Amino acid sequence: MMQETMGSAREQPLSQPVCPSCGGALRVARTVPGTNGFVELKIFSCRECSLWITESADEGRGTVSNRS
């Protein structure tokens, strides 16, 4: 689900999340900080197909939900 892209010549490759449905770039919609023993969550969304993905910051695995 991640695609590596290059920033400037001095930077390391950045991981760009890719939509599993349409292949378009996902954008970070929200970050939920980890508190009281819970891990930080990142919520991505696809503008093209209205797909939302919630991903744990430490595992990099997500759950998919489709909101229309």
14-23 pLDDT per residue, tens: 567 899 999 9
**Would you state the pLDDT for residue 67?**
58
Instruction: Name the amino acid, one letter, at 56.
Output: S
Residue 25 pLDDT exceeds 60: yes
CA distances from 32 to 9, 10, 42, 48, 52 (A): 31, 30, 6, 23, 14
Q: Name the more confident of 25 and 17.
A: 25
pTM: 0.60
Q: 26 with 44: CB under 8 angstroms?
A: yes
Residue 34 pLDDT exceeds 80: yes
Place of tokens 């209205």: 50
Domains of the chain, by residue range, sit at: 2-66
